Amino acid sequence: MRFREKFLLVVAALLALLLAMAIGRQMLVETGYTNSYAALADAFLHGRLDVDKCFDGDCASFNGKNYVVFPPVPALVTMPFVAVFGPGFSHFMIIGLAATLASLWLWWRILETMEVRRETAVWLLLALAFASPLFYVTLRTDKVWFFAQSINFLLVSAALHEVMRGMSLVRAGLFIGAAFLCRQMSILLVPFLFALSLKPEEQLISFGKAHIVRALKLGLPVAAAVAVYLTYNWVRFGDPMETGYIYIASPDAETWSLINHRLTHIGLFSKDYFLFNALYLFVQGFHVQWGGPDLLDMVGLDPMGTSIIAASPFVLLAFFAPARRPVIIGALCALLIAGVTLFYHGNGYSQYNTQRFTLDWMPVMMFALALAVKEPIRPVFGLLATYAIALNVAAVAILAISPSGS
């Protein structure tokens, strides 16, 4: 068993190297004017919130002006680079890769704090980097949606690191608040962080002074981030609760698009999306699309993605995590985030061999896996992680040779 596990680790590392090379290749072919955060950063530098032009389809038109609808923090990250290179800045993938590497370093320290064995930690980080949605997000950080998720995952990991290592709850609040200003769903992880900040003997709900102080340290920076976002929306769209996503829709668009059609005919959120999103989140398998009269021409991969269970089957082992309070609270937070997205107009499209929205609650999953993957089941985790990495290699290869590309 020991020899076979080491053999698996070598295979997984070699497969991971192929995926790392794919990221490197994508970095070499990245071009400018393809990420709208460059346009938003340029607008900020010129004292505006509206942009001259979006570099992708998700742009809101309101009162004769164009707006990047996504939250602003990733644009702030980009501002120094856009200040030097202009809105044609073409190295978002370098920033995204740096964010991923920083996230992995933080998780190494988190796993150390959890006293996870070194061999197990290596497997967990391999799975996170190359067999979870983090890989595809890193591969595509040249685009606005994936870049936001990359920065968001780093900030959530930093918040978790602060709490797990008993450092500063204020900094944890600042990090999770900044994450909220990348991906709004991140705010739903605050109860998970608060539960982690408590000692096992402390009550979850208490009106004691120490409890209230702890809640304020974590919560006030988050409240400030919410206030910033509401103000940002109000200045742009005249309504603090209006994010601008609904203004993406263009009924008169000449070219049909799925998102435009859904927003125009159904809406931003609807029960009509539930079955589609649920099947893609939990059931849909790795799906190669075929065409031609004899169905022998490879067209590409399903752009709606692969379910988290099919693409990353090792997540099922989180079932064996001990039912500690942070695990239960974290699971409830993850279910709430996933539940909201089941009614959302998009499921992460376009994406391949992943469900990228699951990255919003992947920190909870990684925490649970770190508790669950002990010696008896670690070889099983290694086998499933290696399979998941191999599946990503297959996805990258198919996209490279298929007409649809990446």
Query: Torsions phi, psi of 360, nearest 5?
Result: -65, -30
Which residues, other chains included, contact 185 with Cβ-Cβ below 8 Å and sequence gap of 6+?
A: 337, 340, 341, 360, 361
- pLDDT score recorded for residue 201: 81
- What is the predicted pLDDT for the residue at 251? 64
Contact 58, 248 (CB under 8 A): yes
Q: How far apart are CA 132 and CA 340, in angstroms?
A: 21
Q: What is the pLDDT of residue 350?
A: 87
pLDDT at site 57: 73
Using DSSP bridges, classify how beta strands 288-291 and 65-68 pair: parallel, antiparallel or unpaired.
unpaired
Q: Where are the domains of the chain?
A: 2-30+91-401
What pLDDT sits at residue 403?
79
Q: From CA 148, how far away is CA 90, in angstroms rounded?
A: 16
Among all chains, which residue has been given the structure tokens 């942070």? 326
CA distance 392 to 161: 28
Residue 406: its pLDDT value, please? 56
pLDDT at 87: 94
Q: What pLDDT is stored for residue 139 in this prediction?
A: 97
- Burial zone of 216 (CB within 10 Å; 0-12 exposed, 13-18 middle, 19+ buried): middle
pLDDT at residue 211, as a whole number:
85
Residue by residue, DSSP assigns 303-331 as: TB---HHHH-GGGGGGGGS---HHHHHHH
> Between helices 362-372 and 144-164, what is the axis angle to 10°?
50
Q: Partners of 269 in the beta sheet?
A: 344
Mean pLDDT, the chain cut into blocks of 10 residues (406 residues total):
89 98 96 95 97 86 93 98 96 98 98 96 98 98 96 98 92 98 97 93 81 92 98 96 87 72 91 97 95 90 96 97 96 97 93 97 98 92 98 96 73
Instruction: Tell me if 146 sits within 8 A of 137, measured CB to CB.
Output: yes
